[in-house]
Structure 1
């Protein structure tokens, strides 16, 4: 089934006709909410969340400041939602790197290459997580540290499948997972901040990260 666009003589299919329907109020609200989140993330490229102002965010999102409160009760709530988005990226990365066997060298390569793929696709989210992890006592950095501890806990469960780690105490597995998470976030920041970006510089950073993971693994094999 086709339709003729008024005054144009052109036929448009049902998909095009669907795209011309008025946007619902709920859709507009969701778009504005996402615009606020995107604006905040863009503003955080060179500063911590604690110094970000509501007025800066609404100006970039092109809405009046009072309209902000139709979507978030406070800047902290916006920051926590943004943190949830960023952690979702990190968890998708972990999911993508799972089930790569138990050979340390292969796992290290897969994890580092997956990190590279996700960092390049979500640079602002990785920068936000790395900065807020050390961001002080505010609600957002505190939540970031809690979320990253939980993420490390999930990673510790994955590590327990390696033969040499099966008998490790939970606390030791968590310590190892924390070391790996710290290294991965540091590598992501290095990828983001290296200027100019190039395939050569990325390969150098990735090779170093892979060797760091292997070094951690070798030490883990002999941990008592």
Structure 2
């Protein structure tokens, strides 16, 4: 293959990636005011500057587009939270503070993504509901693994660890939904929600300290 052919191929690939990115961004824009099952392929194509059939050069179906948005929404957050959890020198309060800070920062930077997740978690698309549920399950499983390494609860069984992990996940998910709501654009409201999340997480830790493990 000649150098000109390589450049041409690279240019085509770059254009394809730009168009794919433009489709994702246009979809997020639509999803800021509508649900995924009401998304318009015609409006999507018009916003990107392609014909409607051009969409299928990038995504086989609308569901595939939705799944790409789910993966994109969780990907960065999952990596950042994992980095926080892998710091074994953190005491519980510091771990809670850093985890809450990471979540709050991500929600500010990617508000449209998490508004999409918050809406579609109980939305009309069964495919997206299942994908989102799966992502939360992965969070819970990773958290169970981390909790099992904590000396204070190392004697707990799997059932207890899953109960504790699910509590943390539910609290985080509920708080995230509130933090991406329009009312959270007000600084005082946002600070209150974040402080409340920290306190809820600390209460869970305090309660866990006095928990009597379930019998098998």
User: Which bracket does the TM-score occupy, shorter chain normalised?
Assistant: 0.7 to 0.9
Is 1:145–2:133 an aligned residue pair? yes
Paired residue for 1:186? 174
1:201 corresponds to:
189
TM-score (normalizing by structure 2): 0.84
Alpha-carbon distance in 2 for matches of 1:197, 1:137: 28
How much does 1:179 deviate?
Answer: 2.0
Q: Which has the higher contact order (CA 8 A, sep 6+)?
A: 2
The Cα of 1:66 is off from its aligned counterpart by 0.9
- The 3 A distance-change label for structure 1 pair 96 and 128 is farther
Structure 1: which 4+ aligned runs deviate by more than 6 Å? Answer: none
**Partner residue, 2:40:** 53
Runs of 5+ unmatched residues, structure 2: 1-6
Cα distance change of structure 1 residues 130 and 175 upon mapping to structure 2, 3 Å threshold: farther
Q: 1:108 aligns with which of 96, 104, 111?
A: 96
User: Which is richer in helix?
Assistant: 2
Q: CA deviation at 1:221?
A: 1.5
Aligned to 1:162: 150
Aligned residue in 2 for 1:18: none
2:52 is matched with 65
Q: Which has the higher Rg, Structure 1 or Structure 2?
A: 1
Q: Deviations over 1:2-49 (max 9, x none)?
A: xxxxxxxxxxxxxxxxxxx98701100111011111111222223332
Q: Which runs of 5+ in 1 are unaligned?
A: 1-20
Partner in structure 2 of residue 121 of structure 1: 109
Give the aligned CA root-mean-square deviation in angstroms. Answer: 2.1
Task: Confirm or deny: 8 A CA contact 2:70 2:117 kept in the other structure.
Answer: yes
2:80 aligned to 81, 86, 93, which one? 93
**What is the total number of aligned residue pairs between the two structures?**
204
